[in-house]
Chain A
């Protein structure tokens, strides 16, 4: 039998520390050992998330994609006698398929592989539009660099989100990435148009984002402020 030297209460044999003040039980005559019987088991209950039937979801999404694919294709075949404008619809639906139902088919989809597939599908779809339309010269100098810079931004955000750093640092980094992507898009557009100034509108995007990012980094360093925010904003 041990008593807490701080609180004066008797501690049950299950208690290695006083549950009221966290003082350790140090009884040289009777060192604490795990008792055979504890007041509560070690098993923890967690609120189990509702299981989503992914197989059923994939089937439903696929069917709902097939219907809008068939109707324009048949209409195009009957009216134009071939696949003309319906290729845009088919391409868009294929992109959607790569983005949503395809990852759902896998139990643990590799997010980097799907990032690559998503990027390729978007690049391919835009190339389809480029090759089908009469206009020339905008794909390699404008569309592809924009797609690549946005995709790299997404990839960087994915890497940062998966890292073990604090959520505020993650948010700061993502704000900075959005700013960088907007600058790179602005650069590409101005380069394509042959504009005299390399950046225009992106300055107005990147400035507040960098300010937000800096504020978040400052908050992250202030432990008390962070605690206060967590206390006020917990849900």
Chain B
């Protein structure tokens, strides 16, 4: 008892977006994403371990473990060193939070690749990307002695961490005006469920210049073009449905939006929202041009600072409600589970998260050949898609928990039909 009270470990509250993930977590699922960088030579695990140790000191927000309080979950600081792990063929599997010293991320290596898998409670894609880039820069510095210039995306590990990197920017930037989060349910892709511990991954590598040229032809961005194509691919699956209600359900793709571009925040914790552009097949069949137009205009309307702020403010207002705050955690968990089901996955058919075009400083660019982004499969959807561009190569990765690769097949065939070359690889074991 005495020891319990004498413990002086630092703790912080979960950020507004992170609060839902522990509740939504189940025995076999947690919201995990993975970012990786492929180098020119095989990774040395000892050097990677040293690099991780150094990098972690600059990222105090990554050194926390999840604990349960009476009213809310909280994050408690850990002092033990994490250890790098060998990679696996089924990444993004739910991590056991009592292993790896309680860390909610894991660094994995395989051949020439360094990968970081992160539980969404810790940070979002942007925070994860800064961590990966800094880790790789530190690794390259230790291995080859290269001097890599540091900036906002590759941190200087010798400088002290900024306390603002730990702030919950949702609380700081939310306002009083809120917007409803209620949306119609979307069409769901179904299939034969995969065995436990299995995740099917298919990555398509696409030349960015070709993709940009085609997008330009349709007068839209790469994300808008890929989203429209994904919507039409889902529609092709939906057309085969016998049930009329299912055949006419709206098709929406969830697109995460980085809120950092609207606010001058330094946070390394979650600070992103999402919007669900889509089509209403009940009104008739959409052409590619029409779908692109629907996506583009929806993003234009909903992707503004005002609308995104109203959406995030609704979450903050709910969190600050006195009745919710005073409810014990086990009740909150049940409510949040239902909320995740109805607000999270139910409103979209799949997810497309584009991390954008990544640039690395030239001393680092020489050693990094490729970057990848894998989204774990959502809890109530069967397929998700993550993409990242680097060195004129867009890696678009589908992850799914069903046997059938129908969405991927239709999507990549559509790209090929538009004269966009695609090279595919998978995590299939022969």
A-side interface residues toward B, CB under 8 Å?
4, 7-12, 14-21, 34, 37-48, 227, 230-231, 234
The one of B88, B112, B190, B428 that contacts A41, using a Cβ cutoff of 8 Å: B88
Q: Is the CB of B87 within 8 A of A14?
A: no
With a cutoff of 8 Å between Cβ atoms, the chain A residues found around residue B86 in the complex are: 41, 43
Interface centre among A21, A45, A46, A231 (most CB of B within 10 A): A45
Nearest CB to that of B94 among chain A residues?
A47
Known A10-B421, A39-B427, A47-B197: A19·B96 in contact at CB below 8 Å: no
- Measured CB to CB, the nearest residue on chain A to B202 is A19
B88-A43 in contact (CB<8A): yes
Is A45 within 8 A of B197, CB to CB? yes
Classify the secondary structure of A's interface with B. Answer: loop
A48 contacts which of B88, B96, B422, B429 (Cβ < 8 Å)? B96
Which positions 376-430 of chain B face chain A at CB distance < 8 Å? 405, 408-409, 412-413, 416-417, 421-430
Q: In the complex, are the beta carbons of A40 and B421 less than 8 A apart?
A: no
Query: Is B28's beta carbon under 8 Å from chain A?
Result: yes
Q: How far is the CA of A12 from the CA of B99 in the complex (A)?
A: 35
Asked if residues B423 and A20 are in contact (CB atoms below 8 Å), the reply is no
> CB distance A19 to B424 under 8 Å?
yes
For B422, list chain A residues within 8 Å (CB). 9-10
Q: Find out whether the CB atom of A8 lies under 8 angstroms from the CB atom of B423.
A: no
In the assembled complex, the Cα of A186 lies from the Cα of B407 at a distance in Å of: 58
Question: Is there contact, CB below 8 Å, between B190 and A231?
Answer: yes
Can you report 25 A-B residue pairs in the complex whose CB atoms are below 8 A from each other?
A: A7-B409, A7-B416, A8-B416, A9-B416, A9-B423, A10-B424, A11-B424, A16-B430, A17-B428, A18-B424, A19-B408, A19-B426, A20-B424, A39-B203, A40-B87, A40-B88, A40-B427, A40-B429, A41-B86, A44-B89, A45-B90, A46-B197, A47-B27, A227-B192, A231-B190
| B interface secondary structure, majority | loop
Whether, in the assembled complex, B111 has its beta carbon less than 8 Å from a beta carbon of chain A, the answer is: yes
Residues A42 and B89 in contact, CB atoms below 8 Å apart: yes
C-alpha spacing A7/B93, complex, angstroms: 29
B110 at the interface (CB under 8 A from A): yes
Let me know if B93 and A20 touch, CB within 8 A.
no
Distance A11 CA – B430 CA, assembled complex (angstroms): 15
Q: Does B251 contact A (CB under 8 A)?
A: no
Pick from A14, A41, A44, A231 the residue with the most CB of B within 10 Å. Answer: A41
B193 on the A face (CB < 8 A): yes
Min CB distance, B197 to chain A, in Å?
5
CB proximity of A16 to chain B, nearest CB, Å: 5
Q: Does B201 contact A (CB under 8 A)?
A: yes
| Closest Cβ–Cβ distance, residue B264 to chain A (whole Å) | 39
* Contact present for A20 and B110 (CB under 8 Å): no
Q: Which residues of B contact A43 (CB under 8 A)?
A: 86-89
C-alpha spacing A90/B111, complex, angstroms:
63
B90 touches A44 (CB 8 A): yes
Give min CB distance, B27 to chain A, whole Å: 8
> Which residues of B (43-75) have their CB < 8 Å from a CB of A?
none
B residues within 8 A CB of A45?
A: 88, 90, 93, 197
- CB of A32 to closest CB in B, whole Å: 9
Q: In the complex, are the beta carbons of A7 and B413 less than 8 A apart?
A: yes
**Beta-carbon contact of B424 and A15 below 8 Å:** yes
Residue B204 CB within 8 A of the other chain: yes
B-chain residues with CB within 8 Å of residue A17 when the two chains form the complex: 428
Are A231 and B87 in touch, CB under 8 angstroms? no
A143-B408 Cα distance, complex, nearest whole Å: 64
What residues on A are CB-neighbors of B408 within 8 Å?
19-20
Q: Which chain B residue has the least Cβ–Cβ distance from A17? A: B428
Q: Which residues of A contact B202 (CB under 8 A)?
A: 19-20
Considering the complex, give the chain A residue whose CB is closest to the CB of B194. A234
Docked pose: A156 CA to B429 CA in angstroms: 39
Which B residues are in CB contact (< 8 Å) with A47? 27-28, 93-94, 96, 196-197
